Structure 1
Amino acid sequence: MARPAADKLRLGLGLADLGALLAPFAGRASATTRIAVACTLTVLVTSIYGTPEAAISAYIVFFINRADRTTSIVMSVAALVLVSIIIGLVMLLADFSVDDPLRRVACMAVLSAALLFLTSASKLRPVGAIIAMIIGFALDELGLVPGGEIATRALLYAWLMVAIPIGVNVAVNLVLGAAPRRLACDRLAHCLRVAAACLRDPPPDDAALQAALHTGIQPVAGWLKLARIEGSANASDVAALRHAAASTMAILLAVDAARRQPGAPLPAPVADPIADTLDAMARMLDAGGYPVEIGLSQPDASLLAPAQAAVARELHLAINCFAEPPEADTAADTTTTPTPPTAHSGLLDADAFSNRDHIRYALKTTGAALFCYLLYQQLNWPGIHTCFITCYLVSLGTAAQTVEKLSLRLAGCLAGAVIGTAALVYVVPSLSSVGGLMLLVFAGSWISAWVALGSARIAYAGFQIAFAFYLCVIQGAGPGFDLTIARDRVIGIMLGNLMVYLVFTRIWPVSIAARIEAALGRLAEQWHQLAHARRSDDRRGHAMAALALQGDIAQDLILAHYEPASVGPAPEWVEDRQRRLRSLDAIAGPAFLFAERFPGDPDLAQRLRTLRAHDTAPQPAQPAHATEATEAFDAAGHDGPARDALLALIDKRLTASVADAAQTPHPYPIHAQT
């Protein structure tokens, strides 16, 4: 069976695909400029004070920046507090380890393993590896000094190496950072425009619509919570925009059903007024407000086929009540987007001490880093010390992620090295001041950040471009011209990448298959809850969570192709899960419309159970419990034709899925121990 088009694109990028991934989108240029400014100012401050490893300081900015200013600032401050505590710990260990190489290496190993364990098993995941790298660098610097006052100064420089980019990043985000409410409104406006375009003039493919469904609405709830915390939105505005996000999801699903299901597309006289209204609503959101009391008139349902009538009804209901939550929701000011229940909400994950993968991740990364450390120490080649740093910056949890990111790392490293070397040869010799160096750093940072803020297919390459570029160009407090430094640092990056790849694919390899299976279980639970939810906002919230999970699972299934045969699942296993995911994606629109019109109907729940039972052929509706059957009949009322039409669409898709399964060999078990 042919691999889906998305897989082909992910496994190999052509020039057209690369151009699409590098194309501008809303907010990309401003976020890129913000990161470039923070990196440039970081280099300026390090040049003024002459702190060492300015390249790493500039690179840290990439890790502590997020889309909104609030998260970026909070993350920066938290990282600074944590680094301060750990540097204090290192100072306590200095007297014990500074004069003895064996004890120094032992301290590096113990602290690295402990911090990386927290990186894998706690909420420190975004910054834990960076902190472990800083501690390792600080202890390494201690080994180069005779002790006493110089050792203290080395630890101060290690703290400044993190404190300077954090302070600069906080200042830049206060001035240039995007407000969470602004991001939420912009995202909702973009999704409404996508829906309007699909209704008015459907594009040849549905890539934009699928992207809006799977990743468009999900961040809005978090941004609105941050807006409430920082005071940029009051309680009533937050409640209205939360309901607007749920309504937008309903609009997108209705448009998806109209586009993909035979007999459901709306005729132009009905679709055009709806599309015009959506564009007008998007303009209101762009202005910072939100539309209320829209009053879009509903067309005569007798002129539409049953499936078309169901789509039109959902669109009009979602549009006319777009930002008008029920009174109970407004008063409570609670989010309507359900999240998977968690039994543990502390610092550590629930499986921190039961999942051996956490400690294995810590040991593998520490082992790779210490091997690189001992290697360049024994070779007396300190110029390649970047291999030690690289191990912390690029270590990942599963073999699939490691192999996929390897190509991005190497491509990004080579691109950054080429850009940096070209700058050293053709640009740096003409520079006569720190100002010229700042302009060069800004240009390189802007290019790197533009790539890093793109799709996950290329984002990691942007990080590596920045890392290699900084290590080549930033050689001290002023312009540097030594090509040997650039050569050695690039060799170090390549060596660190190679070590991480070998370790993570040969020692305790972790397949991504276990994560896929767990996510499929959560996905089935979301659809089950959607089918039984009685409140409209709850159903829309479950649909939002389910579609986000479907997008994540689709990406993980593509990553599974990168795992070596001895580690990952068999191709038939991957194809089986992809087919089941495609089935859920195909019925998402009509299933949601059905649940909206007939909440709690047992026939929908039966079909979802059928899909969960390894795609057994759907059977005609069995006699339900008397109460359930009565409720379903009463809910249908005079809309019985719409109910039958939506069920027919779902059954058609499920039947096609079963026929697809009949052509697929029985899936083999997973190879790797997970």
Structure 2
Amino acid sequence: MDDTSLLGTIKSLRRKLWEDLQPTPERLNSSLRILLATIIALILMLVWQMPSIYLGMYFIFLVGRDSPTVSLRSGLISLLTVTIAIACELGVVIISDSDPMIRVLSVAVVTFVAGVLVASTNFPVLGSTWGLIFCIVIGNWDSHAPADKLVKGSLWLIATLSVSVGCAVLVEYLFGDRDPAKKLEAQRKMRYQALEKMFTVYAQGGSPEERSAAVLPVSRFAIAGTNGMLELYNKIAERDLDAGTLPPGTRLRLTMLSQILDVSAAFGLQNTKEDSPELRRRCAIIATQCHELIPIAIPKIESHLQFMPENCVTLLDRVEAALHALLTMPTDASQLGNKELVAMPARKAPFFIPGAVGRIDTIAFGLKISLCATLCYIVYNAVDWPGISTAVTTVMVTGLSSSGAIKQRLFFRLLGSIIGGLILGLGAISLLFPHMDSVTSLVVLIGFVAFISAWTAGGPRFNYIGLQMAFSFYLVAFEDFSAPTELAPARDRFIGILVALLIMWFVFDQIWPVRTVTVMRQGLAGILKTVASFLRLIEPRRDQKDLLLQADALRDQVGKTVVALRSMNDAVDYEFGVDREQHVHTGEMILRTSLTAGTLFWNQFAVLYNEDDRDFLTEPDLIEMRRRLAEYIDGLADGVVNKTAPAMVPADAFLIPAMLNDPRYGEYSRNTIARFEELHSYAVMLSREV
């Protein structure tokens, strides 16, 4: 990457960071709840003289806030995970009589298993929490302190985390949202209204000033991303609340809406002066479609069936493509507000992702995490420098599955550590703590840091910086129950972070690199194979309940993978090299393909929950169509990974022509074939990408 490109990337990241800090819906409310929980927990821990305060304060940020129920469940699961980690630590120490070599081997084994759990389960936080706590407590035995003190310290850690989790859950029960469905509907409508207004201004040939004013709300909603809306969605799912008039497949629709906002904002910011009759015509159509989407009155989609992905070149083309994918999602008025179709509770999702445990990339990820953590553990023991033990914790909280995402998280970890540990932590130790003589002043200082960390953590792109700001500051500020008086601990902890970053860069980016677009291709292939599995699944069977249970698991996997691909697409910006722009383009293409695959899936899934459409499951011609499509989509999945694409076959190879015009099955058949043709077109384009 030349100097000009690097400078442009830095300016872009700085602009995005500033945008990420702007107010978004519910951000202030969430930050204040974290602040209140932090203050309550701090006072209780200081009064009760509880050790490991820094870890307890940090756990407040990790408790789920989708709903009070989610907070309680995630808090209890976290405490159970911590208890298991401490039990493993004590078991290793007792069985081995605290043999140093056994401790090293235990770190290698536990971090490997933790890495596999992160990569192969629907609850990755369990693996990372277990690995993090185990590495912290097993590392305490290197201090050669009395065994009684170390055992008590491990048990006290459970009490400390119980207090922090309890405070977070209490605040959520007192101040959590009561009617998330209405809030989600309102947020969704506001976004469509902003889009409608913006494209109406363009359709009417508005002045540059009018266009800029209309683009601003769209840009703000694009910056807000999906985080706030997905939190509301999760509240509806976990608490089994009334879904109002939300449509089927709400999670996938929210991802599509955010993609539309992103591309529309880019179009508006880059086209404040361009004007032509053709541009006005297309913008008028988009404005009309957005207006119709406000009350979820989805227009008929026959006029959109001839959309061709090959023509998707400009930003306006991409807006139309994203809208097209959304418009082809199924919406039956009788299914609006159907909780079974709107949102699926996490408790229905299987613990392990189907087929993920034995995959080569899962094992490889576990081995890489294990190698990094073990090397860090050996290094700080070999040089007899316990102050840099933060290297191991850095590995456990930073590890991701692709080089681009690793670079992103390492960069965020470094930036958060500089702000939280060096600037705020060292600044407080050297300038503030010597003059503080009361709990009140300490509460004010910690409250300030907690609030700005929570505000930063509420952003859609740079939220990880906020978490690391809090963690690094607490690590420095809460060395003991008294105010720290030395700067050496802060220096040592920061050096530990740098050691971990260096080792992880070497392992993930030099020895065993995996580019982000490669992981995205694997994720897309997983979606395609899930679609193929579902097409084979929906055949006549006696046990309808078992069919719905398996279908729900596949639906959950499709929704989560699409959201993950959107997140990884943002991480492609951190792939540096001569082919960076090609990777960015490929990431966008993979995301668009995944949205099209999602619409194909939901066009099939909606049939399951409609009693009037049960004959669609038993019609022999439709069963044969789905079987043939499943075989072909499996080929597309392999082609996405291998950068090949099978030749397109005509529609009559899947279904007899008479069925396409059948009064009962014609619309379903045409829509299915049309979505497949679009999917194949995208797959062909991906075969030409890097």
Q: What are the within-5 Å matches in structure 2 for residues 187-266 of structure 1?
A: 187-202=184-199, 203-204=214-215, 222-228=234-240, 233=241, 237-238=242-243, 240-243=244-247, 249=253
Q: CA deviation at 1:73?
A: 1.5
Q: What are the within-5 Å matches in structure 2 for residues 127-206 of structure 1?
A: 127-145=126-144, 147-179=146-178, 182-202=179-199, 203-204=214-215
Structure 1: gaps spanning 5 or more residues = 282-295, 669-674
Structure 1 pair 607/20, CA: closer, same or farther in 2 (3 Å)?
A: farther
Structure 1 equivalent of residue 375 of structure 2: 371
State the Cα deviation string for residues 223-271 of structure 1 (Å, max 9, x = none). 323122xxxx4xxx34x45547759959988x979x9997566589988
Structure 2 equivalent of residue 394 of structure 1: 398
Structure 2 equivalent of residue 409 of structure 1: 413
Structure 1 pair 324/349, CA: closer, same or farther in 2 (3 Å)?
A: closer
Q: What are the within-5 Å matches in structure 2 for residues 332-351 of structure 1?
A: 334-335=340-341, 345-346=350-351, 350-351=355-356
Counterpart Cα distance in 2 of 1:269 and 1:573:
31
Counterpart Cα distance in 1 of 2:380 and 2:442:
30
Q: CA deviation at 1:432?
A: 1.0
State the Cα deviation string for residues 402-436 of structure 1 (Å, max 9, x = none). 12222212122112221222222333232111221
Q: What are the within-5 Å matches in structure 2 for residues 471-620 of structure 1?
A: 471-524=475-528, 552-557=564-569, 559-560=571-572, 562-563=574-575, 575=585, 578-579=588-589, 581-582=591-592
- Report the TM-score, using the length of structure 1 for normalisation: 0.69
Q: Is the 8 A contact 1:242 1:335 kept in 2?
A: no
Q: Is the 8 A contact 1:9 1:17 kept in 2?
A: no
Q: Is the 8 A contact 1:213 1:249 kept in 2?
A: no
Structure 1 equivalent of residue 433 of structure 2: 428
Structure 1 equivalent of residue 208 of structure 2: none
Structure 2 equivalent of residue 380 of structure 1: 384
Greater Cα shift, 606-615 or 23-32: 606-615
Q: Is the 8 A contact 2:405 2:571 kept in 1?
A: yes
Structure 1 pair 424/517, CA: closer, same or farther in 2 (3 Å)?
A: same
Structure 1 pair 371/91, CA: closer, same or farther in 2 (3 Å)?
A: same
Q: What are the within-5 Å matches in structure 2 for residues 234-313 of structure 1?
A: 237-238=242-243, 240-243=244-247, 249=253, 278=295
Q: Which amino acid aligns with 1:142?
A: W
Matched, 1:632 2:637: no
Structure 2 equivalent of residue 437 of structure 1: 442
Aligned residues: 602
Structure 1 equivalent of residue 49 of structure 2: 50
Counterpart Cα distance in 2 of 1:335 and 1:559:
31
Q: Which amino acid aligns with 1:225?
A: A
Q: CA deviation at 1:187?
A: 2.0
Counterpart Cα distance in 1 of 2:124 and 2:676:
40
Structure 1 pair 497/175, CA: closer, same or farther in 2 (3 Å)?
A: farther
Matched, 1:454 2:459: yes
Structure 1 pair 17/108, CA: closer, same or farther in 2 (3 Å)?
A: closer
Q: Which amino acid aligns with 2:440?
A: G
Q: CA deviation at 1:447?
A: 0.9
Structure 1 equivalent of residue 120 of structure 2: 121
Q: Is the 8 A contact 2:197 2:287 kept in 1?
A: no
Q: CA deviation at 1:149?
A: 3.0
Counterpart Cα distance in 2 of 1:248 and 1:357:
26
Q: CA deviation at 1:191?
A: 0.8
Q: Which amino acid aligns with 2:340?
A: T
Counterpart Cα distance in 1 of 2:41 and 2:576:
41
Matched, 1:361 2:365: yes
Cα RMSD (Å): 5.8
Counterpart Cα distance in 2 of 1:584 and 1:347:
22
SS in 2 for 1:199: helix
Counterpart Cα distance in 1 of 2:586 and 2:80:
47
Q: CA deviation at 1:554?
A: 4.8
Q: Is the 8 A contact 1:50 1:477 kept in 2?
A: yes
Structure 1 pair 422/591, CA: closer, same or farther in 2 (3 Å)?
A: same
Structure 1 pair 334/318, CA: closer, same or farther in 2 (3 Å)?
A: closer
Q: Is the 8 A contact 1:591 1:650 kept in 2?
A: no
Q: CA deviation at 1:126?
A: 0.5
Name the % identity: 19
Q: CA deviation at 1:373?
A: 3.1
Q: Is the 8 A contact 1:109 1:370 kept in 2?
A: yes
Structure 2 equivalent of residue 465 of structure 1: 469
Q: CA deviation at 1:443?
A: 0.8
Q: CA deviation at 1:84?
A: 2.1
SS in 2 for 1:509: coil
Q: Which amino acid aligns with 1:434?
A: V
Counterpart Cα distance in 2 of 1:657 and 1:65:
36
State the Cα deviation string for residues 364-384 of structure 1 (Å, max 9, x = none). 333333333333334333322
Q: CA deviation at 1:440?
A: 0.9
Q: CA deviation at 1:553?
A: 3.2
SS in 1 for 2:65: coil
Q: What are the within-5 Å matches in structure 2 for residues 315-334 of structure 1?
A: 321=333, 334=340
Q: Which amino acid aligns with 1:438?
A: V
Q: Which amino acid aligns with 1:133?
A: L
